[in-house]
């Protein structure tokens, strides 16, 4: 079967309803199934969190509430309409071409997401015939699966949280805005059937619908687009008309509207429907590390190429238009951080990601960076531990990753683009646009990318007519490298910033030449010339004095220290500058304000140099926060005028004062040196303490992760116990009813029945038995031979043992001491698994029949006596009988 045949089969297939439930979901499942008609034409697949080691009674319990056959799913079982299938315990369930497949779960218990796993396969297999329903349960399983069903054109429903015993699962789906309708469990079947009727309407009267569409679609869609533009300010006229019509038909099905004019009237009367339709048109197809092969190629080929274009380390820029809720942007940030850690380079690369989308709500969710627990299906455990922080609502992206991404609301068609981009990812956006607009956007992307930049498209997209602007990388992934050719001029209607593309391309192409030759950047050249020849020497150092960047010639102020090479400022400072610079540096860092040293003498081999030093702590821009800028300015030596002649006494006095000042200076220097040594010792102790605290923090973090995992496992076990408890509760109620029925049956028959175990000890008895045996409730467990009996049956124990040995019942008529008769029947007690577990002895009162039998015997004897008497008389008299 080729792809076209499969697509045709799927489109003509009957709808399949996937129901996800967890703790407390049994009651909701019973309410849902009890309101589904037996001939609805739908197949229902129930996926519930269940204990893998339990046998489970879910099939039996659900069968009581629906006339449809309820079956436990088997591997390679075909799905039929008007049937209910239940996932077996300890398995994951998937659907392919209408056939169920069982998989052994790979995730640890407590981390499994079986509902999402099945919903995704349901969406892929059934497309618009897929329906997802999330009922009561704990956690967030089912949210990602409902998103996949909506993206495939199906419908998604959730139980109202107020009616759910546990509202975590339905509330997670509602908060993620992936639910089409919310209602109590007993009202959801009506909404599902209404959607199914709409699907059948489109399939059964397709010709009529197409005829009406051809007649009125142009004006109808134009009116819809006008309402969208008026209400939202966004123009969707460049979207593919079939895409818009499919979304409109889906909304019509949910509202049970069969004519497009009725839907247009509904939209005008309900402005909120415009927002819902906008959400349909902006459904974001995204997830963390979607298409793993693409991300592997980015890590293997694209990131090394970008680093090669910036060998000295630089700020790399990425742009992700249509980012939806931010998963792709955060995935790129995590991959970049991991690649740098694996590289272990001294170069300081940074990545700034611009993520934009038209959907305000999606941008708000992306900025919050909070995602449900179900992302564990797409994000590895190692990445969850490193890049996410567990929260009550799920996982929050760590600050390290969130600071790399800037989210913005943007209409890529009309708003100015981001420029000087090194990597641009635009997946599953172009397929919804007309061919002309696709070409224009590709030219826009070419303009935004820097030379050597890379473009990533979706698996169903390609550069098409813009193939002269991009070169594809080897492999199946749609990754392209920007070619250094002029960007073609575009007609009006594109972003205003793009109007400079023509001038930039024209400036790069000399007259009379067809080859692009980039003109030199005069601004950059002039800045480099000024910095090299006129600007003072400067250093950028860390708060610990480690040099990060050197500007200008610093040889007069610094020299390599002997021994192991070091980039520490104080180790490389020349004599005369080292001590003064150290004191000024630590003072500036401590007080967080600029410090200036005037006319500091530097002792070189030649004449001494004098320099002014400015030490400036930096807080802005954010990228330089926490660093210190040191600027050196050479100054002239101080004037050395000859002193006037003085008397010998004056000279002696001046010499003593100078000696005293020198001594004080020496003491001050020694005190400063001592203070500095003490400070360094304190710093080392603090550093050691900090390392211990970091180690303790890591241990606490590890403990927290273990507790989080244990919590998830306990939550999963709690859900399974809730399900088992509900099943057992119903089973106990059933057994209680059966016991009551049996008790009333036995009491109404007034038959004495005695149950014995294999050792002839009393197990239980009916009330009528107390008329034969002196039994009280406390006699349970006593041997039958120790209990007084009114029957004249000394061989009762022997007969009972004989029946246990031969397994052949024995029946006897036994008299009682008060002239009553009983028919005693001794039979083996058989369990449901055909195991002998004692004896059942029944005592049927046959006193009336025995009395009749005795009277009959007596009457027979009398009659025989009467008959025999005349015969004897006639013989005695010598007369013969006639």
Assess whether 688 carries a catalytic annotation: no
Q: In angstroms, rounded to a whole number, what is the distance separating the alpha carbons of residues 695 and 701?
A: 10
CA 108 to chain centroid: 15
Q: Are 513 and 331 in contact (CB under 8 A)?
A: no
- Could you tell me the CA-to-CA distances from 432 to 220, 494, 695 in Å, in that order? 19, 18, 51
Query: What count of other Cβ atoms lies within 10 Å of the Cβ of residue 420?
Result: 11
Catalytic entry in 40, 49, 255, 324: 49
C-alpha count within 13 angstroms, C-beta hemisphere, residue 357: 30
CA 258 to chain centroid: 36
Q: 686: part of which helix (H) or strand (E)?
A: helix 648-749
Q: Please report the DSSP string for 115-154 in residue order.
A: HHHHHHHHHHHHGGGEEEEE-S-SSSTTHHHHHHHHHTT-
What does the block give as tokens for 332? Answer: 């790129």
Beta strands in 636-725 (DSSP E): none
Strand pairing class (836-845; 752-756): antiparallel
Assess whether 22 carries a catalytic annotation: yes
- Could you tell me the CA-to-CA distances from 264 to 176, 219, 226, 495 in Å, in that order? 27, 11, 11, 32
Q: What is the dihedral of CA 357, 360, 363, 369, to 10 degrees?
A: -160
Angle between helices 206-232 and 260-269 (to 10 degrees): 20
What does the block give as tokens for 112? Answer: 């499994």
Q: In angstroms, rounded to a whole number, what is the distance separating the alpha carbons of residues 337 and 422?
A: 16
Give the list of residues 6+ apart from residue 736 with CB closer than 8 angstroms, or none.
none
Q: In angstroms, rounded to a whole number, what is the distance separating the alpha carbons of residues 768 and 338?
A: 82
Q: In angstroms, rounded to a whole number, what is the distance separating the alpha carbons of residues 770 and 753?
A: 10
Diameter of the chain by CA atoms?
205
Q: Which of 299, 227, 212 is nearest to 261 (CA)?
A: 212
- What residues are paired with 390 via a beta bridge? 395
What separation, in Å, do the N-terminal and C-terminal C-alpha atoms of the chain show? 105
Edge to edge, the sheet with strand 16-21 lists 70-72, 84-86, 43-48, 16-21, 130-134, 155-159, 181-183
Catalytic entry in 116, 141, 422, 845: 141
Assess whether 378 carries a catalytic annotation: no
Query: What count of other Cβ atoms lies within 10 Å of the Cβ of residue 521?
Result: 10
Catalytic entry in 22, 156, 425, 477: 22
Q: In angstroms, rounded to a whole number, what is the distance separating the alpha carbons of residues 842 and 480?
A: 89
Q: In angstroms, rounded to a whole number, what is the distance separating the alpha carbons of residues 238 and 247?
A: 15
The per-residue b/e assignment along 463-488, b for 16 or more CB within 10 angstroms, e otherwise, is: beebeebbeebeeebbbbbbeeebbb
The per-residue b/e assignment along 122-147, b for 16 or more CB within 10 angstroms, e otherwise, is: bbbbbbbbbbbbbbbbbbbbbbbbbb
Q: In angstroms, rounded to a whole number, what is the distance separating the alpha carbons of residues 614 and 373?
A: 52
Q: Is 288 exposed, middle or buried (0-12, 13-18, 19+ CB in 10 A)?
A: buried
Q: Reply yes or no: is the peptide bond before residue 621 cis, omega within 30 of 0.
A: yes
Structure-token match 């392919």, residue found? 96
Question: Which residues are known to be catalytic?
Answer: 22, 49, 141
């Amino acid at each position: 079967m080729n792809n076209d045949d499969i697509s045709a089969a799927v489109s003509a297939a009957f709808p399949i309803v996937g129901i996800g439930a967890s703790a407390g979901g049994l009651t909701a499942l019973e309410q849902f199934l009890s309101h589904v008609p037996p001939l609805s034409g739908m197949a229902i697949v129930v996926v519930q969190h269940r204990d893998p080691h339990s046998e489970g009674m879910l099939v039996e319990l659900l069968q009581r509430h629906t006339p449809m056959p309820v079956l436990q799913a088997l591997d390679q079982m075909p799905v039929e309409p008007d049937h209910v299938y239940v996932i077996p315990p300890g398995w994951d369930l998937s659907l392919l071409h209408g056939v169920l497949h069982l998989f052994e779960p790979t995730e640890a218990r407590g981390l499994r997401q079986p509902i999402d796993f099945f919903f995704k396969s349901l969406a892929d297999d059934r497309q618009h015939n897929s329906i997802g329903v999330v009922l009561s349960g704990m956690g967030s399983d089912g949210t990602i699966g409902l998103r996949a069903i909506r993206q495939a054109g199906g419908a998604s429903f959730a139980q109202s949280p107020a009616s759910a015993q546990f509202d975590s699962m339905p509330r997670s789906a509602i908060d993620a805005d992936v639910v089409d309708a919310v209602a109590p469990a007993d009202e959801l079947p009506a909404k599902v059937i209404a959607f199914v009727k709409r699907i059948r309407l489109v399939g059964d009267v397709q010709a009529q619908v197409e005829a009406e569409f051809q007649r009125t679609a142009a004006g109808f869609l134009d009116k819809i687009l006008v309402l969208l533009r008026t209400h939202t300010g966004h123009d969707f006229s460049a979207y593919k008309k079939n895409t818009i019509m499919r979304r409109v038909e889906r909304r019509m099905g949910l509202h049970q509207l069969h004519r497009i004019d009725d839907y247009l009237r509904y939209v005008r009367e309900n402005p909120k429907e415009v927002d819902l339709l906008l959400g349909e048109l902006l459904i974001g197809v995204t997830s963390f590390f979607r298409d793993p092969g693409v991300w592997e190629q980015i890590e293997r080929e694209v990131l090394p190429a970008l680093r090669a274009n910036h060998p000295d380390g630089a700020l790399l820029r990425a742009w992700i238009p249509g980012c939806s809720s931010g998963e792709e942007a955060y995935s790129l940030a995590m991959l970049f951080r991991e690649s740098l850690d694996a590289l272990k380079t001294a170069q300081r690369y940074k990545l700034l990601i611009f993520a934009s989308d038209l959907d305000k709500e999606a941008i708000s969710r992306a900025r919050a960076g909070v995602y449900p627990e179900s992302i564990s299906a797409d994000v590895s455990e190692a990445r969850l531990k490193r890049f996410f922080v567990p929260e009550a609502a799920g996982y929050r992206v760590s600050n390290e990753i969130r600071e790399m991404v800037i989210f913005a609301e943007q209409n890529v068609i009309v708003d100015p683009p981001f420029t000087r981009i090194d990597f641009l990812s635009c997946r599953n956006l172009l397929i919804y646009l007309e061919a002309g607009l696709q070409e224009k956007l590709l030219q826009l992307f070419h303009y935004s990318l820097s030379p050597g930049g890379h473009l990533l498209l979706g698996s169903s997209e390609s550069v098409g007519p813009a193939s002269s602007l991009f070169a594809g990388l080897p492999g199946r992934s749609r990754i392209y490298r920007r070619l250094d050719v002029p960007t073609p001029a575009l007609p009006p209607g594109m972003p205003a910033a793009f109007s400079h593309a023509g001038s930039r391309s024209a400036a790069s192409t000399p007259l009379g030449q067809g080859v692009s030759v980039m003109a030199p950047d005069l601004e950059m050249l002039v800045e480099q010339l000024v910095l090299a020849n006129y600007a003072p020497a400067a250093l950028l150092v860390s708060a610990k004095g480690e040099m990060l960047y050197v500007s200008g010639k610093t040889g007069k102020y610094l020299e390599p220290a002997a021994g192991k090479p070091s980039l520490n400022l104080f180790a490389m400072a020349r004599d005369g500058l080292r001590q003064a610079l150290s004191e000024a540096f630590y003072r500036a860092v401590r007080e967080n304000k600029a410090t200036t040293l005037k006319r500091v003498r530097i002792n070189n081999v030649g004449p001494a140099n004098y320099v002014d030093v400015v030490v400036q702590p930096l807080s802005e821009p954010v990228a330089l926060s926490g660093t210190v800028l040191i600027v050196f300015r050479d100054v002239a030596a101080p004037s050395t005028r000859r002193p006037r002649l003085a008397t010998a006494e004056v000279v002696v006095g001046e010499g003593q004062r100078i000696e005293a000042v020198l001594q004080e200076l020496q003491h001050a220097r020694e005190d400063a040196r001592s203070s500095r040594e003490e400070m360094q010792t304190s710093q080392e102790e603090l550093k050691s303490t900090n390392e211990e605290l970091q180690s303790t923090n890591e241990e606490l973090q590890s403990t927290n992760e273990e507790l989080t995992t244990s919590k998830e496992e306990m939550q999963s076990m709690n859900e399974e116990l809730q399900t088992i408890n509900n099943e057992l509760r119903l089973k106990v109620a059933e057994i209680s009813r059966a016991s009551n029925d049996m008790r009333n049956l036995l009491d109404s028959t007034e038959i004495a029945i005695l149950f014995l175990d294999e050792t002839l000890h009393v197990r239980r008895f009916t009330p009528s038995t107390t008329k034969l045996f002196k039994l009280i409730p406390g006699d349970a467990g006593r041997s039958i031979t120790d209990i007084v009996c009114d029957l004249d049956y000394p061989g009762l124990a022997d007969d009972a043992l004989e029946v246990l040995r031969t397994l052949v019942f024995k029946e006897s008529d036994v008299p009682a001491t008060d002239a009553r008769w009983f028919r005693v029947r001794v039979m083996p007690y058989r369990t449901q698994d055909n195991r002998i577990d004692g004896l059942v002895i029944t005592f049927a009162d046959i006193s009336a029949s025995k009395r009749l039998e005795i009277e009959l015997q007596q009457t027979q004897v009398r009659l025989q006596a009467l008959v025999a008497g005349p015969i004897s008389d006639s013989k005695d008299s010598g007369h013969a009988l006639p």
